[in-house]
Structures are given as C-alpha cells and as structure tokens.
Structure 1
Amino acid sequence: MSRRPRRNHSPAFKAKVALAAIKGEKTLAELAEQFDVHANQITSWRTQLLEGAAEVFGGDSRTEAPPPIDVKELHAKIGELTLTNDFLAGALTKAGLLSARR
C-alpha cells in the first residue's frame, strides 16, 4: 500500500472543517470521512480556531511590533567597518598580498 502524497490545505478549507467540528452535528469520524482528513488533524484545527478566535475581535495579538531601528548606531557601525576595511586593505597592499589595481 503506497503512501498518499502530502497535501496542503487552504486556510478556508481548514476553517470550514474546524467550524463543522465545533458545531458538533457530526462525530469526528464522520467529519474525517466527509472531508477526507484524519480525525487528529480536525481536532488540531478546531483547537487552533478556538485559541485564535479572540484575535479576530481585537484581542491580544501574538505578533509583537519590531523594535525601533536606531539609525545613528547603524551609521556608526558602517563607519567603523569602513575604517577597518580601509586599514586592512592598506596593510595588505603594503605587504604585497593585495594588488593595488582593484
């Protein structure tokens, strides 16, 4: 018996299956047969829907805002790295390890 290739379900399909599971009109086995998905997967999607339902109505979001970027610090780092590169290029040129015709 060969294995079925891995399937990727759309978010709309997952929501449809999870809502059907929450309604409770059919058992998990019946839903699994109807939608051709394993019962454990239906349970997982139902749990995800229940945990994320509060976010739909403006609840606490799990995504955090990225930290603000300090431009002065980045410019200082660029200057430091440029200075280091220039110094090393000069030292290597003097030692004859780097061609002056770059």
Structure 2
Amino acid sequence: MSVRKKYPTDFKAKVVLEILKEEKSVSELSSEYGIHPSILNRWRNMVIEKLPSFFTDEQKNLENIKAQYEKQIQDLYAEVGRLTTELTWLKKKSGL
C-alpha cells in the first residue's frame, strides 16, 4: 500500500491559479507537478464552488465589524451622558 501525499494549501492554491489561468492544460500541469489530473480537477472544482462564499463571508464580516463599532459608540455616548449627569449632581451637592 502506498501512503497518500498531503500537499500544503499554498501549493494547492498556486497550482489551481495556474489551472484557472489556462496557459497550460490540466494534463500538462499534471505531468509538471506529478499530480493525477483528477486531483487537479477536484481542487479546481472546490475552488470554483467555494468562490462565491468568499465574497459573502467578507460582506458578513464587514457588517459584523460595523455593528460592533456602532454598539461601542452608543455605549460610549451613554457612558458620557451618565458621567455628565453625575458630575452635574456632584457639583450641585457640593455647592460649586
């Protein structure tokens, strides 16, 4: 039995980019890198399938960051208002 090869993700990305550029055929890249064409096709299909989710995940991430930022601003304004009220009350009580 042979042991399965594990390829690093940066290597896979490099190979898939070359496939998507279409400067060389899948069979040429297969012989160049010593990887079976079906594996290269599987990698390409995985990238093409997951590509739309990349943009939606990025958009969701931006929306989450924006919501957190706005909540933080609201909390800070509430804190400033509370502290201003306390300061006014303390000045009034101390006779300043």
| TM-score under structure 2 length normalisation | 0.53
**Hey, which of these two has a bigger chunk of helix by percent?**
2
Structure 2 residue ranges without an equivalent (≥5): 58-96
State which of 30, 36, 39 in structure 2 corresponds to 1:38.
36
5 Å-filtered alignment, 1:46-85, equals 46-59=44-57
User: Which amino acid in 1 is paired with 2:7?
Assistant: H
CA–CA distance in structure 2, aligned partners of residues 25 and 33 of structure 1 = 15
Counterpart of 1:46, as a letter, is: R
Which residue of structure 2 lines up, in the alignment, with residue 11 of structure 1?
9
Alpha-carbon distance, 1:4 to partner: 4.8
- Partner residue, 1:24: 22
Query: Gaps (5+ residues) in structure 1?
Result: 60-102
1:14 Cα offset (Å): 1.2
Give the number of aligned pairs: 58
The code of the aligned residue for 2:24 comes to K
- Structure 2 residue matching 1:5: 3-state secondary structure: coil
Q: CA deviation at 1:5?
A: 3.0
Q: Runs in 1 of length 4+ with deviation above 2 angstroms?
A: none
TM-score, reference length from structure 1: 0.50
**% identical aligned pairs:** 30
SS for the counterpart of 2:56 is coil
For 1:38 and 1:15, how far apart are their aligned partners in 2? Answer: 16
Aligned mates of 1:13, 1:27 — CA distance in 2: 18
